[in-house]
Structure 1
């Protein structure tokens, strides 16, 4: 199907590199096109679940995200159904800088990032937060149900503030030394500070980098809204642990939870 997508978009796969998404849901490859190098991403889903918010996210981001948010340009897209599966093919400009992690969101060693990279990330997050949208990344109803269940403590689940978020800001969706923010499927409204909190939680196995995030993004995290966003992210990641994902983060998440809720 990736080959069929390439043919439909007049693209020719180059090299042997294949980038598989979470649980094999997506397959991406570099391609050559008449307008230069590109990146062809194919999404697969059961036919009755093809479409909706996740499929429209990249196209909406292309339409409304300002230039201050560095991301690959979406050139073309195609959707179709074949038997029991639906497909979305997206042709992007190729990003030359590599992602900071390759196969997973969790950081396991400190990246070499300069102040300019952090400044650009900070500007991007501040800009994303101001983009008007009817899209939703996190729902208050989820917080009401999940936070008491997975945090295991009595807690006020009302978010202090809501802003627009990328919604999946982890190390496999960020490039360096030039910053590009990848994967715009799930962006939308979330508790203020959500993106910074998610990146911080995925960095807990590398304390120096986690501390650097708190230093560089302190204007986001060191606020009541930022601390609440950390609790939201910890809730979500503890839930994923019950499903067998992110198991290595469990102890660090519990330690961070105790730090946020002490006193």
Structure 2
């Protein structure tokens, strides 16, 4: 079965046959893909090439692309002062209501820290934290017309309000500061022992503190690590918009589709309640 989407059914690339897709990418990029190195995620595939580069292949519905064109990794090449692999070349094609895109980049300087949500302290160096801060500071100081698309959903004021109020009704959710963000900043998309951030397909303008809040939320199963994230990114997370992004991330953890076995639930509630109280009395 080919993955050309005549249907709108959900597709999980972790289980679908993808040989035809890999064959097409090899022909388009004129390289050989090492099938033994394939890394599958729900909507993307990563694989090493025979010229010691990395290719990321993504499947995204046209309704999830919008005016930005789905070229996040390529457009991120214009960003400066950020530790990330250089973009080399890309190719895209359409199949019915779906766009496929393959981007070739340099190899990462290290391995991903963990899965998206960390389960144990990764024991990161002071140099690592300094590099993270330098990259996030450099990112937020730049300019773009792109709008962030976390989970492929365009990040608007309406989305912020709907997400937060679904769990924390009555909070004033008006965002004041919009800054460039990676928008999928979690432990699966950053490396160690050398800091590097990759998978830039969703980057764009977002409320201040989104990246810090995402990393905090992904760290809650390890309280000391979550505290370290909040300490390192205190300026963002203690701003009004950073508090809103803390609630935005917490609402995703605690909302309608919350996993009752998620070890982050208690810490997310505790922090969120404190933030809500501060916003209402501040």
TM-score by length of 2: 0.81
- Report the counterpart of residue 148 of structure 1 in structure 2: 165
Distance in 2 (CA, whole Å) between partners of 1:198 and 1:54 is 24
Query: Are the aligned partners of 2:74 and 2:103 in contact in 1 as well (CA < 8 Å)?
Result: no
Which string of whole-angstrom CA distances, capped at 9 and with x for unpartnered residues, describes residues 106-163 of structure 1? 1110012111111111111111112111111221111222321222x32111123221
1:256 paired with 2:274, answer: no
Query: Are the aligned partners of 2:49 and 2:55 in contact in 1 as well (CA < 8 Å)?
Result: yes
- Report the counterpart of residue 26 of structure 2 in structure 1: 6
1:18 paired with 2:38, answer: yes
Q: Secondary structure at the match of 1:186?
A: coil
1:182 paired with 2:198, answer: yes
Shift of residue 199, structure 1, vs aligned partner:
0.4
Distance in 1 (CA, whole Å) between partners of 2:160 and 2:64 is 26
Distance 1:143 1:82, change over 3 A: closer
- Report the counterpart of residue 223 of structure 1 in structure 2: 239
1:27 paired with 2:22, answer: no
- Cα RMSD (Å): 2.3
| Residue number among 257, 261, 264 corresponding to 1:242 in the alignment | 257
Query: Are the aligned partners of 2:22 and 2:33 in contact in 1 as well (CA < 8 Å)?
Result: no
Distance 1:85 1:188, change over 3 A: closer
Distance 1:4 1:246, change over 3 A: farther
Distance 1:215 1:207, change over 3 A: same
Shift of residue 83, structure 1, vs aligned partner:
6.0
Unaligned runs of 5+ in 2: 1-20, 149-154
Shift of residue 51, structure 1, vs aligned partner:
4.9
Task: Count matched residues.
Answer: 251
Distance in 2 (CA, whole Å) between partners of 1:251 and 1:17 is 37
Query: Are the aligned partners of 1:100 and 1:111 in contact in 2 as well (CA < 8 Å)?
Result: yes
Distance 1:217 1:84, change over 3 A: closer
Query: Are the aligned partners of 1:50 and 1:86 in contact in 2 as well (CA < 8 Å)?
Result: no
- Report the counterpart of residue 102 of structure 2 in structure 1: 89
Distance 1:171 1:6, change over 3 A: same
Distance in 2 (CA, whole Å) between partners of 1:204 and 1:186 is 23
Unaligned runs of 5+ in 1: none
1:37-56 correspondence runs (5 A): 37-46=52-61, 48-49=62-63, 51-52=65-66, 53=68, 55-56=70-71
TM-score by length of 1: 0.86
1:75 paired with 2:88, answer: yes
